Amino acid sequence: MTRIVFILILSLIILSADSLAGVSVVGTRFIITQNTKSLPIKIINDNENDYLVKTNISGNDEGRFVVTPPLFLLAKNTSNIQMLIPDKIENIKADQLYSLTIAFIPNSKKMKDFSTISLALRSHFNLIYRHDNLSKFDPRFLALVKEGNDIFWLSNHSNFVLTINIKESSTEKTGSRITLIPEGKVNVSKFCKLKKCNFWVFVVDDDDSILKKIHMNNFNS
């Protein structure tokens, strides 16, 4: 009896994960400056299923950004452009980081012998408002701070949201990719031994090119 019930449940509930494949957003993060009139976001559906696309910006309580259209139907094997329009961004003296979430809700399908439950796929992206050109970032505003005997933090005292790679050496191919907000910090204790730190920070620009390469080996108490 238990086996029959188990098989019945599997037959009635099929999570159509394959229907989520083939939906993509062009871009890994999105940047808006004071000169941005609108920012296009391209969404591609290479699937044989239609999707309802819904976009939300977390932290946008003051209405600084308008998404148009915020909700639309994306037909199978098509693409569409959403526009992100900045508003009320005057007199902002520091970069701001927001979370852009795009949800894809596939059409539910009815089969002859069972029903399917469609899962919504959510993609999350960093949305950065730049108050000034990132090339003006001063590496001296990145500081090592010691807490207690064996905890070390890398702190960002600049007004810029930074995308950084932390590496043990300047020639290391891979590293930890991190986003640091103004006055934000990240634990770097694993790079520090015997009360001394020794690692490299690669600050990348908005095109993912290396902007600054910084050797971190001193800390502030």
> By the 8 A CB rule, do 162 and 184 touch?
no
Q: What is the CA radius of gyration of the chain?
A: 23
Q: How confident is the model at residue 106 (pLDDT cuts 50, 70, 90)?
A: confident
Say if residue 92's pLDDT is above 60. yes
pLDDT for the residue numbered 111: 41
Residue pLDDT, tens place only, 31-89: 999 889 999 999 999 988 899 999 999 887 777 889 999 999 999 999 999 999 998 77
Sorted by where each starts, the structural domains of the chain and their CATH numbers stand as 24-130 (2.60.40.10), 134-216 (2.60.40.10)
> By the 8 A CB rule, do 84 and 126 touch?
no
H or E stretch covering 11? helix 2-12
Please give the residue that has the higher pLDDT: either 149 or 128.
128
CA distance 56 to 69: 11
Place of tokens 């308008």: 66
pLDDT for the residue numbered 115: 54
Give me the chain's average pLDDT, please.
84
DSSP string, 76-132: TTEEEEEEEEE-S-TT--S-EEEEEEEEEEEPP-B-SS-B-BPPPEEEEEEEEEESS
pLDDT for the residue numbered 17: 40
Q: How confident is the model at residue 21 (pLDDT cuts 50, 70, 90)?
A: low
pLDDT for the residue numbered 61: 74
Say if residue 91's pLDDT is above 90. no
| CB count in 10 Å sphere of residue 212 | 17
Q: What is the dihedral of CA 62, 67, 68, 70, to 10 degrees?
A: -100
pLDDT for the residue numbered 109: 58
> By the 8 A CB rule, do 24 and 46 touch?
yes
